[in-house]
Amino acid sequence: MNVTNQAQALLTPFAMGDLDLTNRVALAPMTRARAGETRLPNALMAEYYVQRAGAGLLITEATSVSEQGIGWVGNPGIYTDAQGEAWQQVTDAVHAAGSKIFLQLWHCGRTSHSDFHGGEPAVSASAIRIEGDGVHTPLGKKDYEVPRALETDEVFGVVADFVAAARRAKAAGFDGVEVHGANGYLLDQFLQSATNKRTDKYGGSVENRFRLMREIVEGVIEVFGAGRVAVRLSPNGVYNGMGSDDFRETFRYAAEQLDDYGLAYLHVMDGLAFGFHEKGEPITLPEFRAYFRGPLMGNCGYDQDTAEAAVASGAADMIAIGRPFIANPDLVERYRNGWPLAADTEMTTWYGGDEAGYTDLPSYREA
């Protein structure tokens, strides 16, 4: 389907609660790791987001809510006042460019490594190691380690870290926050039965496994209001060793519970571009529509045609686009005008470095 000569539902405005978005394209959160050892947002990052402000909504790369939650080299943080204040240059620049921006709140959990934590193990729902290729640490690539299961009375501290991060995000001028509950990070580790073998109030039943996400969402809503809070889920994903036999029951329950809050949107990694756990038929956006009545955002492997089809059919209200936005900072303008897309950049520039492969990609008009 060639949508360039059609109405292009994807490019129509969207009222997301009290926020008016210029179109239904979101910049997907992608870890670009340009914050350095201080994890302070900087002018280069501001330039990167402004270049992509043609999207109706920008979602920042995953941002650490605490030192305990760190598990990536060079990603930004929001666990200190200095980090929060540094984000202001990004939000001011994006707003001046006419777009809206949400901060994604992140705790890596077991995907981290003791190298990030002074020799102390990473934490998780249970002491279950990822079977995978390994993790990039400040001291080089290492094998995954067995994490330490958080004690029951420690979980409150995780909730408090997310709430404190949300307060800093609000002070920094963000339009809202997205709670990262996907892709095998800490909240996903608590939610899924494959990684949560706890016997306390945070384990066992799906209600208990959802408890941490509920407490974090409710805490963050106290800061921003429900209409400025979003959640990201990945029901079909195998990334970071995920995939549970009861995934359909688990994610239906999560979507139904989240629907009660009146969130800004539910961000669903419905595509299979990061792999599929093959525990049953994938959960699709139309299936989520039956569980979640608020704004629904699809993600993972969409191009212009499939994104347009999802929005035009009513399966999604918005679509988050990731990798095509790296080489095409003016992606929305290219969609609107039917201009060809630039080829993908070298993967070596995706995660860390300087402006190369980050802010030096030309627009179509400049090329």
Annotated active-site residue 302? The verdict is no
Phi, psi of 319 (to 5 degrees): -130, 130
State pLDDT tens for residues 235-257.
Answer: 999 999 999 999 999 999 999 99
Q: What pairs with residue 57 in β-bridges?
A: 26, 100
Residue-level pLDDT at 366:
79
Query: β-strand 140-142 against 135-137: which pairing, if any?
Result: antiparallel
Give the span between the Cα atoms of 170 and 317, in whole angstroms. Answer: 25
pLDDT band at 170 (very low <50, low <70, confident <90, very high): very high
Q: What is the mean pLDDT of residues 69-85?
A: 98
Residue with tokens 């995978």: 132
What count of other Cβ atoms lies within 10 Å of the Cβ of residue 51?
A: 18
Start-to-end C-alpha separation, the chain: 27
CA angle at 57 for the pair 51 and 58, rounded to the nearest 5°: 50
Query: β-strand 176-180 against 229-233: which pairing, if any?
Result: parallel
User: What DSSP assignment string belongs to 308-337?
Assistant: HHHHHTTS-SEEEE-THHHH-TTHHHHHHH
Domains of the chain in start order, with CATH, are: 9-349 (3.20.20.70)
* Residue 109 DSSP label: G
**pLDDT, averaged across the chain:** 95
List 79, 144, 185, 253, catalytic entry: 185
Q: What is the mean pLDDT of residues 99-106?
A: 98
State pLDDT tens for residues 262-302.
Answer: 999 999 999 998 899 999 999 999 999 999 999 999 999 99
